[in-house]
């Protein structure tokens, strides 16, 4: 063997990203990555100081891209600020989809696992949020609200008292769904 160092490193990173995105970080062992990349586990640790360093190297480009975006919008304000930030953020997440997915597959695996089959319920919730519509705009907005409420509830940021938080979450969600109050 003994390919060029950068080639092997690239192969390792590629394998790691794919496996992390399927089984999660903790759910993927160094041996798994080594087997997939076609080298020994010891070779991994020759190229990378440790398992965490592999993860760091995988996530750094996304991090840097986010930092760049924030720099770019630092001087803006008002409507331009929000528009540029949203557009940039969306593009960024789409570009680094696999990296984001690896952060979530721990959850996904946990949800699919065991008796409680959450995925079926999640699809039901998605349908209801989309108002039973199958059209793409409604479905995308439904996904957005699904994730938005989920994450916002999980935050411990103390951004607002619970009553305010609840009211604003509902209003914001309905706006995202393009819902005209009846």
Partner DNA sequence: ACCATAACTGTCCGATCGGTCAGAACTGAC
Partner DNA sequence: GTCAGTTCTGACCGATCGGACAGTTATGGT
Interface region with DNA, contact rule CB under 7 A, candidates 30-38, 113-121, 135-143, 156-164: 30-38
Q: Does 32 bind a second copy (CB under 8 A)?
A: no
Q: What does 151 bind: DNA, a second copy, none (CB cut-off 5 to 8 Å by kind)?
A: a second copy
Q: What does 67 bind: DNA, a second copy, none (CB cut-off 5 to 8 Å by kind)?
A: a second copy
SS (H, E, C) the chain: CCCCHHHHHHHHHHHHHHHHHHHCCCCCCHHHHHHHHCCCHHHHHHHCCCHHHHHHHHHHHHHHHHHHHHHHCCCCCHHHHHHHHHHHHHHHHHHCHHHHHHHHHHHHHHHHCCCCCHHHHHHHHHHHHCCCCCCHHHHHHHHHHHHHHHHHHHCCCCCCCHHHHHHHHHHHHHHHCCCCCC
Q: Does 73 bind a second copy (CB under 8 A)?
A: yes
Q: State the nearest-atom distance from the C-beta of 32 to a second copy, in Å.
A: 15
Give contact residues for DNA (rule: CB under 7 A).
Answer: 1-5, 8, 28-32, 39-43, 45-47, 50-52
């Amino acid at each position: 063997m003994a390919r060029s160092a950068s080639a092997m490193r690239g192969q390792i990173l590629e394998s790691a990203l794919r496996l992390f995105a399927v089984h999660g970080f903790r759910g993927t062992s160094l041996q798994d990555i080594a087997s997939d990349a076609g080298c020994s586990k010891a070779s991994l640790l020759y190229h990378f100081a440790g398992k965490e360093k592999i993860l760091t190297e995988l996530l750094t480009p996304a991090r840097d891209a986010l930092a760049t975006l924030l720099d770019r919008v630092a001087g803006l304000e008002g409507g331009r600020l929000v528009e540029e930030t949203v557009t940039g953020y969306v593009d960024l997440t789409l570009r680094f989809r696999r990296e984001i997915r690896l952060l979530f597959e721990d959850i996904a695996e946990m949800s699919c696992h065991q008796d409680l089959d959450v995925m079926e319920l999640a699809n039901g919730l998605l349908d209801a949020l989309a108002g039973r519509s199958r059209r793409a705009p409604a479905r995308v907005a439904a996904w957005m609200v699904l994730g938005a409420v989920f994450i916002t509830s999980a935050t411990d940021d103390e951004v607002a008292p619970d009553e305010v938080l609840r009211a604003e979450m509902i209003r914001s969600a309905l706006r995202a769904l393009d819902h005209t109050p009846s």
